[in-house]
Amino acid sequence: MSGLKDSFRFGIRNIRKRPYRSFCLMLAAVIGSYALFVGLSLKSSLNNGLGRMKERMGADLMIVPEESEIKARNILLTGEPEFFYMNASVAKAAEDIEGVESATSQFYFTSLSSDCCSTRVQLIAFDPDTDFVIAPWIDEKVTSGAENGSVIIGSEVTPLANGKVKFFGSEYKVAGKLGETATGLDHSVFMTRDTMHDLLNDAKDKGYQFLNPEDDSSWVSTVLIRVNDGADITNIEKEIYKKANGIRFIETDKLLSDVSVKLGSVESIINITLTVLLVFSFLTMILFFSVIFHERKKEFAVLRILGTSSRRICLFSLTEGITIGAAGGVAGLILGVLTVFPFNRFIENSLDVPYLMPAVSLVILYGVLGVILTTLFGSVSSFLSTLSLSHAETYYTMRAGE
Amino acid sequence: MAFLKAARLVKEYERRGKSFRAVDDIEFAIDKGEFVMIEGESGSGKTTFLNLLTGLTDPTSGDVTIDGKTLKDISDKDISKIRNEKIKYIPQGESLLSALTVRENILFPFTIGGTKRPSEERLLEVAEKLGITELLDEYPSELSGGEMRRATIARAVINRPSLIIADEPTGSLDQANTSKVMDIFKNIAEEGTAVIVVTHQKETLGYASKVYSMSEGKLTENS
């Protein structure tokens, strides 16, 4: 029989024969692996979310009605359905201003969580002729294009079993689904203004009036502006202020910077917690192995008496360390998976920052990394604990064990 | 040439800043088939002497030669191999591995050494002689002190080694079992194994072909 095979068998027997001791050691490994997997997944999801948000924002500037900035931020960041309006003339105010490359308006309203509607989501009407924010995503994901009478749904919106969505009693064909944006827009449904007009009429018929459908073309919720490279945004805002009243600006860079700051704080907390837990896991394993092996001095002395070399004794305990570290690592990974995936939405809502799970391959890598790390913890701590004992003279270790 | 030879063997320790000799300039030799017993009071250096003979403790000075190999000149791996294959050491107290059954404990040296295991018949023969047949599948925690001692002796004698060194092997045994064990040692010596037994029990000295006394680290042969 090979030495490695024997070492493994003997190590396993020792682990099984002392279940409580093995459980405590394994728990330290579970904590390490769990912390690493959850911590790295969270960090990656946050960075991924911010990256995707930057990529998808499209506009450099948003014009919203006075006192609606928070509502607009909510739509973008959390997907909380909101509605607010201002006169459509604001869209005209953004035209012909130096530095403005393109401008488009959107109209926000909401569905309801009652029998009339599939679910309560943000409804967004856009102008396909001037749009530069939605269209790029649709081109990527939609096969049949955005048509009147059909809608585009965000990545988190689930259609009915027949593939349609229902708002205010009428069903609408889903022309396509967008990719994840890590923003509130994932929970939104997009349509042309003509489709919006039909929806507002249906809403009015059901007794829900956002504004008079006969007059809806006079109102917009926001005007999105893309500026030329190097343009002075502050100057553009001043020029628009001269032409329109009762408005506020949300600068995308500022919004992203605010999110970055918040994300930085969350990331710092994750880093500190992760470091503390990993150090705790490693030190606990060293301490446990050291105490346990000290108690097992006599056993090591017996092994020496029976003709086991010091190297072989290290191999025996290394097997125990590796097995416990790996088993604890796998258990921690399973716990981590059971935390990160089912509570994905809860974590997203709790953190209140863009959150987008990384690719499966990266998640698998984090899991493997966690198991490797705790296996390493187990092997290093068992090896260090054995090293001192295997060099001690057997006579003394024998006496100490008695 | 003697199978085991100790030449000018010294082991010094320090206690409270003063050094003392636990083993003091011992000359000793034993050949295969000899049955030697060593008596002496507690603290006279008997266990240290046995540990030196088996290479478990390094001497301060002097040499131990086993089967022509001087221990200080060979590696830990080679000394371990000698202990595994040629010498069976029965230390004081309990020395069974708690994670293994009695059967596994008895066969464990063969697992470590990768050597051929004795037959089931041989295992049962030894177990029968020592009265532990019914205990082969028990764990050490389920055995009494005497039963553990007999299992340890079974582990030592099963492959008829070149040398058996036993430190107080009958300490926890009753009269009947003491006689059984001493008979086994005597028989195995007659079959060609060198046997060294350290004991407090003067009534067992009659089994030996040579008796030594140890006092304050010095070994003297009784006339």
Answer whether B51 sits within 8 Å of A310, measured CB to CB.
Answer: no
Phi, psi of A235 (to 5 degrees): -65, -40
Contacts of A298 in chain B (CB under 8 A): 94-95
User: So what's the pLDDT on residue A1?
Assistant: 39
Give the one of B93, B100, B112 whose C-beta lies nearest to A307's C-beta.
B112
ipTM topping 0.85: yes
Answer whether B91 sits within 8 Å of A308, measured CB to CB.
Answer: no
Contacts of A17 in chain B (CB under 8 A): 98-99, 139
- What would the pLDDT profile of B14-37 be if each residue is shown by its tens digit? 888 888 899 999 999 999 999 999
Contacts of A12 in chain B (CB under 8 A): none
Which residues are CB-contacts of B34 (< 8 A; sequence separation ≥ 6)? Answer: B189, B194, B195, B209, B210
Q: What does the domain layout of chain A look like in residue ranges?
A: 2-53+259-399, 55-250
Which regions in chain A score pLDDT beneath 50? 1-2, 400-402
- What would the pLDDT profile of A117-161 be if each residue is shown by its tens digit? 667 788 899 888 888 887 776 655 555 555 667 888 888 888 888
Residues of A with CB under 8 A from a CB of B: 1, 3, 6, 10, 13-14, 16-18, 298-299, 301-312, 393-395, 398, 402
Q: Decide: A197 and A216 in contact? Cβ < 8 Å.
A: yes
Answer whether B76 sits within 8 Å of A402, measured CB to CB.
Answer: no
Give the one of B89, B92, B111 whose C-beta lies nearest to A1's C-beta.
B111
Contacts of A395 in chain B (CB under 8 A): 47-48, 51, 56-57
Which of B96, B98, B104 to mutate to probe the A interface, most A CBs <10 Å? B98
How many contiguous H segments (helices) and E segments (strands) does chain B have? 6, 10
Distance from CA of A7 to the nearest CA of B (A): 9
Which of B12, B47, B97 to mutate to probe the A interface, most A CBs <10 Å? B97
Q: Which residue has 């056993």 as its token pair?
A: A299
Using CA atoms, how far residue B210 sits from B37, B111, B196, B200, in Å, is 6, 34, 10, 15
- What would the pLDDT profile of A331-340 be if each residue is shown by its tens digit? 999 999 999 8
Answer whether A306 sits within 8 Å of B84, measured CB to CB.
Answer: yes
Contacts of B92 in chain A (CB under 8 A): 398, 402
Answer whether A10 sits within 8 Å of B95, measured CB to CB.
Answer: no
Answer whether A6 sits within 8 Å of B112, measured CB to CB.
Answer: yes
Phi, psi of B68 (to 5 degrees): 85, 0
Answer whether A308 sits within 8 Å of B97, measured CB to CB.
Answer: no
Give per-residue burial for B182-208: e unless 16+ CB within 10 Å, then b: bebbbebbeeebbbbbbbebeebeebb
Output the six-digit token pair for A181.
Answer: 């944006």
Q: Which residue of A has its CA nearest to B54?
A: A305
Answer whether A14 sits within 8 Å of B99, measured CB to CB.
Answer: yes
Distance from CA of B223 to the nearest CA of A (A): 31
Give the one of B92, B109, B139 whose C-beta lies nearest to A306's C-beta.
B109
CA distance A234 to A264: 27
Answer whether B76 sits within 8 Å of A309, measured CB to CB.
Answer: yes
Contacts of B161 in chain A (CB under 8 A): none
Residues of B with CB under 8 A from a CB of A: 47-48, 51, 54, 56-58, 76-77, 80-85, 89, 91-100, 108-109, 111-114, 139, 155
Which of B112, B148, B172 to mutate to probe the A interface, most A CBs <10 Å? B112
Burial class (CB in 10 A: 0-12, 13-18, 19+), B85: middle
Answer whether A308 sits within 8 Å of B112, measured CB to CB.
Answer: yes
User: So what's the pLDDT on residue A400?
Assistant: 46
User: Span B34-61, mean pLDDT?
Assistant: 91
Q: What is the pTM of this model?
A: 0.73
Least confident of A183-197, A331-345, B92-106, B207-221: A183-197
Q: Which residue of A has its CA nearest to B80?
A: A307
User: Span B30-55, mean pLDDT?
Assistant: 91
